[in-house]
Amino acid sequence: MPTIGFHCSHEQIPPSQLLEDVKHAEAAGFTAAMCSDHLEPWSTDQGQSGYAWSWLGAALNATTLPFGVVTAPGQRYHPAITAQAIGTLGEMFPGRFWAALGSGEAVNEHVTGDTWPRKELRDRRLIECADVIRRLLEGEEVSHDGLVTVDRARVWSRPSRRPDLVAAAVTPETAARAADWADGLITVNQQEGGDRRALTAYRDQGGKGQARLQLHVSWAPSEDEAVEIAMQQWRSNVYGAPVAWDTNSVEAFDELGRHATEDDVRRAVHVSSDLEAHAARIRQAFDEGFDAVMVHFVGTEQSRFIDAFGAQVLPQFATADLIGRSTS
């Protein structure tokens, strides 16, 4: 069965409710899950920011799903601390946990008071962090002097098999660079084939492992309601690089969101009241070479979406022979 996962958005939903939502998603037929790791939401309307690492222990214990997290080592997190967190969850839940590493966004990282580095330095820092984390999870004592400093670090509690370290990449350039170090790729849905180009760049450079697509969707029984949900919750998330990386306050994202149009939001979110249209978009991702689709319903009330997808979308992917046959 193809992997269709449930994305848990800490920026939008209180952690206690999100735990109930992911249990509901597993019961409805989603076969994997992942979550974001933010200090700040993208807007005051989203209004939440649960601590992912605490919540992940509860979620892994409450479900049988394989789970991932997208996180940014190097500024808010020292890579040795990230490695320790990954090692603990990997030891407690063997074979079920992966971590995607990205270069981060200023809205979360500025709180340290350190300078927010320009993009090429953030990319170099990420490569250093990925190497440090990998070595620590393989049992080495690590010292490192560079854009991050590590002094004789060691992770003592860890699984026998290191969890996958996945690259979180949006652009083809970032995806291509990640092929040298990553155990897999995760990217987000983009209009005009941007997600496909990121995957192609990763594979062309020899990138290995699973390729996952995080697919933002808005569904409701009526088209007007589906649009309203997307506009209310995701209008501040429509801006690409460098705005999304360098904007450093929720209030600034609120102001940006005031200028987003419905067309802008539809470019970032697959908006439709038609469940068959959502199934076709998921099928398209598999046709394009993605191994897993992690569906993120951008509304805050998840139950109706989970029940609808569980009843009418997920059963269409119950047999692997549906891969490669598009109905779009």
Answer whether 291's CB lies under 8 Å from 13's CB.
no
Chain centre distance of CA 176: 18
Evaluate the CA torsion angle 188, 260, 36, 128 in order and state its sign.
Answer: positive
What average pLDDT does the chain have? 95
pTM (2 decimals)?
0.95
Answer whether 5's CB lies under 8 Å from 31's CB.
yes
Residue-level pLDDT at 241: 86
Q: How far is CA 246 from CA 77, 134, 232, in A?
A: 18, 27, 22
Cβ burial, residue 320 (10 Å; 0-12/13-18/19+): exposed
Instruction: Examine the pLDDT at 37 and tell me if it is beyond 60.
Output: yes
CB-CB neighbours of 316 under 10 Å? 17
Instruction: Examine the pLDDT at 213 and tell me if it is beyond 60.
Output: yes
Residue-level pLDDT at 328: 28
| One-letter amino acid for residue 211 of the chain | A
Residue-level pLDDT at 192: 80
DSSP per position, 129-162: HHHHHHHHHTT--EEEESSSEEEEE---S--SSP
Residue 315 per-residue DSSP state:
G
Answer whether 173's CB lies under 8 Å from 201's CB.
yes
Residue written as token pair 């102001």: 255
Count of all residues that appear for the chain in the document? 328
Residue-level pLDDT at 322: 47
DSSP per position, 252-275: HHHHHHTT--HHHHHHHSEE-S-H
> Where would I find the H helices in 29-152?
52-62, 79-92, 106-109, 119-137
For residues 294 and 216, what is the distance between their CA atoms, to the nearest angstrom?
Answer: 9
Q: What token pair was written down for 205?
A: 């450079």
304-320 tens-digit pLDDT = 999 999 999 999 998 75
For residues 271 and 107, what is the distance between their CA atoms, to the nearest angstrom?
Answer: 26
Chain centre distance of CA 47: 19
* 3-class secondary structure, 38: coil
Q: Residues 60-75, buried b or exposed e (16+ Cβ, 10 A)? A: beebebbbbbbbbbbb
Q: What token pair was written down for 89?
A: 């969850």
226-275 tens-digit pLDDT = 999 999 999 999 998 899 999 999 999 999 999 999 999 999 999 999 99
Beta partners for 165? 99
For residues 155 and 142, what is the distance between their CA atoms, to the nearest angstrom?
Answer: 9
For residues 190 and 270, what is the distance between their CA atoms, to the nearest angstrom?
Answer: 10
Residue-level pLDDT at 102: 97
